[in-house]
Structure 1
């Protein structure tokens, strides 16, 4: 591929076509959905020709899969890998509003849920990616719950994963932020799952 390329309107563009296409997909797929976003629109937003787009992605399906990988390749590392928080605090931090979402906007629907809803073929690679990601979220919750001392970390992990997904979907349907309510419920689930503190012995 040459160092410079022509965009859809003939502009000369530098390197980085793949990144621009992915950046456009991250925005457009989130704002208007996968099925409502065509390759022509993606190419226009990324300032690349359709030929260039298909040099990087052989199909829209391949782009969708890479879009999901790019969205969160390591399963919420900004929550579960934070060394400045205790395990309990990390569990609750999963219910904080994502930092990249402006304060005046509601949390967008989880892209993995959105992809699973839009792509009906159960054997589609994007559906499998969404399935694996959601399983990994529950696993990371369970691992952190174990670190926090939960008596049944796997159960707590599934409960918190379900609560987080429910909050995401309800926020999207109602157009109001539901993560604070979910966080309050999560705190109750977490505290009920942790062993009660042993009372200090009374001297006498």
Structure 2
């Protein structure tokens, strides 16, 4: 990088700043929480000035909302849109959450974490979390309907609750709860879908 491409204190500037800010927010918000991440730290990790950060995101709230929006905009497309799986298999594939080891378990769902940290029900990120969780339950219900479930909305809500519970339990206990959740989900799915 040439001296002309460096900003204050030798930081990078210009091209890619927005992506670096979002990447830094993803890392820091998930590691230490939204409330514990200050803009100074975020800018240092993203290698941008505060001025540059606020040119891309006028407030931290706007940044948090965009951070959530970018996680999974299509609601698990790799699962729900996988035509190689039967509807029953897609319902259970939601619980195939990869973990690489006991020290690198999936962090708490970012939508749950944001909803817990942000007290204002009208906060745009809180609404984003609400909409995403509703979308997950709706996709599960649609897939349950496709599988022939007697009450697809109920099954969708049950599986959504089980998924969120597994995410929280995995984080709190530092243990993989998704395998147990998958076994419970199989029982629920088989009970709801007539043979």
Mapped partners of 2:11, 2:37: distance in 1: 23
Normalization by structure 2: what TM-score? 0.93
Normalization by structure 1: what TM-score? 0.89
Determine helix, strand or coil for the equivalent of 1:41: helix
Offset at 1:102?
3.3
Partner of 1:177: 176
Paired positions, count: 191
For 1:35-114, what aligned pairs fall within 5 Å after superposition? Answer: 35-98=35-98, 101-104=99-102, 105-114=104-113
**CA contact 1:145–1:156 (8 Å) conserved in 2:** yes
Q: Which runs of 5+ in 1 are unaligned?
A: 197-204
**CA contact 1:106–1:175 (8 Å) conserved in 2:** yes
Determine helix, strand or coil for the equivalent of 1:71: coil
Partner of 2:159: 160
Determine helix, strand or coil for the equivalent of 1:176: coil
CA root-mean-square deviation: 1.4
Q: Deviations over 1:22-62 (max 9, x none)?
A: 01111111111000001111111111111100000001000
Q: Which runs of 5+ in 2 are unaligned?
A: none
Q: Deviations over 1:157-196 (max 9, x none)?
A: 0000000001111111111110000000000000000112
**CA contact 2:12–2:48 (8 Å) conserved in 1:** no
Mapped partners of 1:12, 1:185: distance in 2: 49
**CA contact 1:80–1:140 (8 Å) conserved in 2:** yes
Mapped partners of 2:193, 2:168: distance in 1: 28
Bigger Cα Rg: 1
